Amino acid sequence: MIGMIGEANQKHLDWKLKEKALELFRRLEQISELPRFDGACVDFHQKRPAMVFIAEKELISQVENGELPGFLVAQGVRRVLVDALWPTNVAILKQLIENGVEVWVLTRPSALHGWRRKKNSGKPKGLIEWLERHNPQVLEGFKTEIKNDVYDAVLLRYMKPKFMRPLMKEHLTCWVSMLLYRYARRNRQGLLQQLDALPVSEDERSWRVEMAEDYLMMEATNFIQIIKSCYPKICEMFKDLRIDGGDVVTQALVCDVFMEIDETKSLTEVYRKFGLIPKKDQEGLIYDGAAKHSLVQLTAKRLGVNPKYLTAEEKKELVEEQRITVEVIYKWKRKMMGLGAGASAGETRARALAG
């Protein structure tokens, strides 16, 4: 009997939560200046079912990840916005694309809730902070629980397009390979640091480093081959960057930066992603640390320098060379994806491939 009451109470709580989320949706719909994503919004989790919101049907549902493609197709969904790209959801997103669903991913998680900082300083960072400042009545009754998964699925609908990125099957295939390559790179670096601290012989150090190097070269080579299979014209870009002579490490770093560049964005937005904007504009800047590291290593490799031992003036030159490198790869990627010099940065990769 106690168990049955518990189940009944849980169903009641779920129903109340969904009704409250729909109330938040109806309030947000009254704000005309908010953008609206036309399609389903999915809040993913690595170990929990996904939360799905379909505005047109006022439908909120918790769906096991493996059942998500079938559920969305059954609902007639043709476009999906997901909150994050996880290794655990790549196969699901690929399946959605294969089923003809257009998939987008949120590229800045802080666009929902912002991040910790002093209140009322500068422009609002995140949708919730913007609402608190300009439409506080919308959040009445929600403030203490607004980070609930159900509400996040609803809030995704109102993300600005500049915080989204379209995903193609080729990108997802290469992304998995990139993660494995990055893991090998971090593993090698971590091993070197450990060996510096541990009392091991030179012979032991030598064979351990050799193993890590071989592993890294294997993953780098595989990453490059996967990129070439999905984007054959990247070989022409290698020639432009003068790295087509078989330098696997440098080519893998180029592929890494290539993957991080969103060609549907403006060059200025791409610079921001890599932290390449003037110091006077860097307050509150959020950039991709992993992408930045790959770019620094690539640029240093091309220049034949070690970033640790550069003078202040040489560091400035290194930053300028990073900007040039990003611009070259960005322009090549736009050209490769069918986006000409005069094309709008807002054109999607899907449209480019279709053309």
Residue range 1-32, pLDDT digits in tens: 334 334 444 444 477 888 888 999 999 999 99
Kindly report the length of the chain: 355
| pLDDT at residue 350, rounded to an integer | 41
Q: Give CA–CA dist 253/235, Å, rounded.
A: 14
What does the block give as tokens for 261?
Answer: 């560049």
Three-class DSSP category at 53: strand
**pTM of the predicted model over 0.85:** no
Q: Which amino acid is at 248?
A: V
Q: Any idea of the CA torsion for 96, 102, 179, 329, to the nearest 10 degrees?
A: 150
Q: Tens of pLDDT along 62-96?
A: 898 889 999 999 999 999 999 989 888 999 999 99
Q: Is the per-residue pLDDT at 256 higher than 90?
A: yes
Q: Tens of pLDDT along 279-294?
A: 666 666 677 889 999 9
Q: Give CA–CA dist 215/349, Å, rounded.
A: 33
What does the block give as tokens for 65?
Answer: 């990840």
How far is the CA of 57 from the CAs of 52, 65, 217, 351, in angstroms?
12, 21, 50, 27
Strands 59-63 and 50-54: antiparallel
Question: Which of 113-122, 272-281, 299-308 shows the lowest mean pLDDT across its residues?
Answer: 113-122
- Asked if residues 105 and 80 have their Cβ atoms less than 8 Å apart, the reply is no
- Asked if residues 295 and 343 have their Cβ atoms less than 8 Å apart, the reply is no
Q: List all residues 6 or more positions away from 305 whose beta carbon is below 8 Å from its beta carbon.
A: 314, 318
DSSP 49: P
Q: Which residue has the tokens 């909150």?
A: 83
How far is the CA of 334 from the CAs of 79, 262, 354, in angstroms?
23, 9, 14
Q: Which amino acid is at 215?
A: Y
- Kindly give the residue spans of alpha helices, DSSP state H, lying in 54-168: 68-74, 90-98, 110-113, 127-134, 149-155
Q: Give CA–CA dist 157/91, Å, rounded.
A: 23
